[in-house]
Structure 1
Amino acid sequence: MKNRPEIPAGVYAPRPSRQESKADSTTNVARSIIEAEAKARDAKTAKLRALRLAQEAVSEPVAPAKRPARKAAAK
Structure 2
Amino acid sequence: MKTVPDGIFKPKPNSSELKSDLTTRVARQILDGEKAEREAKTERLRQARLARETAAAAATPAKPKAVRAKRRAAAG
Normalising TM by the smaller chain, what interval? 0.5 to 0.7
Q: Which residue in 2 is equivalent to 1:43?
A: 40
Displacement after TM superposition at 1:14 (Å)? 3.2
Identity of matched residues, %: 41
RMSD over equivalenced CA pairs, Å:
2.1
TM-score, normalised to structure 2, is: 0.64
2:11 counterpart residue number = 14
Structure 2 residue ranges without an equivalent (≥5): 59-76
- 1:23-42 to 2 correspondence within 5 Å? 23-42=20-39
Q: Spell out structure 1 runs of 4+ moving beyond 4 A.
A: none
Task: Tell me which protein shows more helix as a share of its residues.
Answer: 2
**Which protein is bigger by CA-based radius of gyration?**
2
Q: For 1:22-42, what per-residue CA distance to the aligned partner results, in whole angstroms no more than 9, with x for missing partners?
A: 100000110000001001001
TM (norm. structure 1) is 0.65
Number of residue equivalences: 56
